[in-house]
Chains A and B, each alone.
Chain A
Amino acid sequence: DTEVTQTPKHLVMGMTNKKSLKCEQHMGHRAMYWYKQKAKKPPELMFVYSYEKLSINESVPSRFSPECPNSSLLNLHLHALQPEDSALYLCASSHSGETTDTQYFGPGTRLTVL
């Protein structure tokens, strides 16, 4: 199984809402990532978890809160977002987080903030 799954596929939320994005992989990977991608732009790294510990936070605003309950699951909790946060949110996983790892991406959650 080389699949990374993400739910929901689409999400529309107001600026006062609280929502969560979910990501799951069953490849035994120990590194998981959240990326944000705006239209016609490359994916921008937000967070990296390595062996269930947050290892990289790319200066992301606190309205985004990641969580890694176990090695297969990754969540992104959203609160008080702004319209400019509307984007495709991609989850990825890799073997152990080395730079030579292949990253496997999920299909993404398309988020619209009203």
Chain B
Amino acid sequence: GQQVMQIPQYQHVQEGEDFTTYCNSSTTLSNIQWYKQRPGGHPVFLIQLVKSGEVKKQKRLTFQFGEAKKNSSLHITATQTTDVGTYFCAPASGGSYIPTFGRGTSLIVHP
């Protein structure tokens, strides 16, 4: 199966600080998706990256896919309390039918 490491496992920030989570794979990926799960909620799709070196932005969120397509990151600028939740990467390689979720990074924002 997919070997992927997502770090950090937890991140505490003060409101207004930036946050980054990283997803690193041992194999080349065909694409990677990012999901957010609020406490007590269900995963919600955020973005998909397909191309080498791709960068996509959604307001304060910036998603990057590495040149070698083995790693990805999600960066949030100036966190808000509404950003609280667990962010999962879900990478897929050519041999896997379904993306496998990374272990997630839980973001805690202190007001």
Interface residues of chain A, those whose CB is within 8 Å of chain B, are 33, 40-45, 48, 55-56, 90, 97, 99-100, 102-108
Contact = CB atoms under 8 A, between A and B. Distances in A.
Contacts of A44: 101
22 contacts: A33-B98, A40-B106, A42-B88, A42-B101, A45-B100, A48-B97, A48-B98, A56-B98, A90-B42, A97-B98, A99-B30, A99-B98, A99-B99, A100-B31, A100-B48, A100-B50, A102-B33, A102-B48, A105-B42, A106-B42, A107-B41, A108-B42
A99 B45 CA distance: 14
B92 A99 contact: yes
Given A99-B30, A100-B31, A102-B33, A43 B99 contact: no
Interface in B74-111: 88, 92, 96-104, 106
The CB with the most chain B CB atoms within 10 A, among A43, A45, A56, A97, is that of: A43
A40 B31 CA distance: 25
Nearest to A45: B98
Interface of B: 30-31, 33, 41-45, 48, 50, 88, 92, 96-104, 106
A100 B98 CA distance: 9
By secondary structure, the B interface counts as loop
Contacts of B100: 45
Contacts of B92: 99-100
B69 to A, nearest CB: 13
A105 B44 contact: yes
A43 B30 contact: no
A104 B99 CA distance: 13
Nearest to A100: B31
A2 to B, nearest CB: 10
Contacts of A108: 42
B25 to A, nearest CB: 14
A107 B42 CA distance: 5
Contacts of B31: 99-100
Given A99-B92, A100-B48, A102-B33, A43 B98 contact: no
